[in-house]
Copies of this chain bind each other. A is one copy, B any other.
Amino acid sequence: MMKRFVYADNSATTKISDAVFNEMLPWLKEGYGNASSIYALGREAGFAVERARKQVADALGAQPSEIYFTGCGSESDNWAVKGAAHKLAAKGKKHIITTVFEHHAILHTCQALEKEGFEVTYLPVYENGIVRVQDVENAIREDTALVTIMYANNEIGTIQPISQIGALCREKNVWFHTDAVQAVGNVPIDVKEQNIDMLSLSGHKIHAPKGIGVLYMKKGIVIPNLIDGGGQERGRRAGTENVASIVALGKAIELACEDIPGRIAKVSPMRDKIIDALSKIPYSRVNGDRERRLNGNVNMSFIGAEGEALLLSLDLAGICASSGSACTTGSLDPSHVLLAIGLSHEVAHGSLRITINEDNDQADIDHIIQTVPQVVEKLRAMSPMWEDLMKNKKEVKL
């Protein structure tokens, strides 16, 4: 096999871009002052934080005063959902609406709230991996505190009808949060136009470092703090400001959102080329809607080739990818997302997620297209499950 390195797991995390790195570096070195301090070293850091806040606000169509920096996307999700739940519980609203295929930062948060006595409706996402607005409408009740639905799914990349859900929630006077960690930079977002009350995002998905996130909260939305303490972030999120990472996130979101149509035009043909090529593998399927999906997301299943083994084999060929197989997570159940769109355990076990972005080129795509079929074949050749299938001893519904 060719000696080539292809990073194709950009939905897991991205490389810090040079532009972002150069922007953050001074704040890791000489600009180490506490952004809340009054001497010049601190004031400059404080200004840098406010510049970044403006960059984030501009990218989302929000006001800087509506932007709160957090420690990661998961923290933003937890803060938004737990905060809204606890706030509105005081008004007797103890019902939350979400989908079955949210990221665990939302799902496990909802489960924690259920233990506290909240009631959660998990909406289905059907075979195409897209929630239906009508289902959201039907689920809204008098005591619904919050609707939280992800903007784009992290595994199968399907994009949800956020504008319609936003309009519905506004009309019904229910708070609406969206986990946009995967969507930012890939879909144009305008929180005002789309009636989004709260939105989570994470730096490391858009070429900023790990360990920095944002929660956008519309003016007027006041929820209890998740992290109490000092007066940072207008008293709503304590902790000495992570200046370097905040600056990086500001730059990264500016770059990510400056030409979204250009990114889509560049990346989605590469995505389609991969999907078309790998669809020729017998007993394969594409997971999630083919049209309404992130420009860089490929998610497919290959029966008889277990996902973790696929990943390790691809790694040997220099390709970094991911899978929804149970075996990759150390749990017994395969990805809840793949099960949610109706895959059987068997098929979900043979899944592969390839997430490319604008840093990938045609040679990367060719390497993927050439390697995956070989690897699938190799694993199938040693798979008793495949043997049974070929000998018609077994039926599998794709």
Contact = CB atoms under 8 A, between A and B. Distances in A.
A312 B40 CA distance: 9
B211 A242 contact: yes
A279 interface: no
B39 A315 contact: yes
A14 interface: yes
A230 B72 CA distance: 12
Nearest to A204: B240
A242 B16 CA distance: 13
Given A104-B228, A228-B105, A41 B78 contact: no
A38 B315 contact: yes
Interface stretch (A54-62, A219-227, A262-270, A388-396): A219-227
A212 B244 CA distance: 12
B32 A14 contact: yes
A328 B14 CA distance: 39
B240 A78 contact: no
Interface string A61-74: 00000000011111
B16 A33 contact: no
A228 B78 CA distance: 7
A13 interface: yes
Contacts of A72: 71, 227, 238-240, 242
B227 A75 contact: yes
A173 interface: no
Contact of A78 (B42, B227, B320): B227
B42 A28 contact: no
Nearest to A330: B231
23 contacts: A9-B33, A9-B37, A12-B34, A71-B211, A72-B238, A74-B228, A74-B230, A75-B75, A77-B229, A103-B230, A104-B229, A105-B238, A105-B239, A108-B228, A108-B238, A109-B228, A112-B225, A112-B228, A210-B240, A210-B245, A211-B211, A211-B240, A231-B330
